[in-house]
Amino acid sequence: MNFICSSLEENGHRLDNVTPFCAYNAPVNFEGQQQTGKSKVFNRLQEKTSARLIPISCPAHILHNAAEKGAERLTVDVETIVLKICNHF
């Protein structure tokens, strides 16, 4: 979290001007406090700013999950097709 704040400051931005918080879907980024009492990154950033942050899950992870589920429904073997294309080039 300190890295995020220092990076914003170094580039002339303020945390109060940030609206979305996009991060990998790991529990360390978004879930509530665990039994240890340590806040997650999103919660700690929300506490430091007067702006209302919007949590956004990692778009690459969401796209990967969608492609994986879609590929499972296909009647062809996608891996074989990809390997044939790669070998062609």
Q: What is the pLDDT of residues 23-70, one digit of tens each?
A: 877 777 776 555 455 568 888 888 888 888 888 888 888 899 998 898
Burial of 84 (0-12, 13-18, 19+ CB in 10 A): exposed
How many degrees, rounded to 5, is the angle at CA 65 between CA 58 and CA 18? 10
Burial of 1 (0-12, 13-18, 19+ CB in 10 A): middle
Q: Do 8 and 32 reside in the same domain of the chain?
A: yes
Q: pTM score > 0.75 for this model?
A: no
Q: Do 81 and 49 reside in the same domain of the chain?
A: no
Tally of domains in the chain: 2
Range of the domain at 82: 59-89
Q: Do 19 and 45 reside in the same domain of the chain?
A: yes
Q: Do 18 and 53 reside in the same domain of the chain?
A: yes
Q: Is 40 in contact with 5 (CB distance < 8 Å)?
A: no
Q: Do 53 and 65 reside in the same domain of the chain?
A: no
Q: Of 57, 48, 40, nearest to 8 (Cα)? A: 48
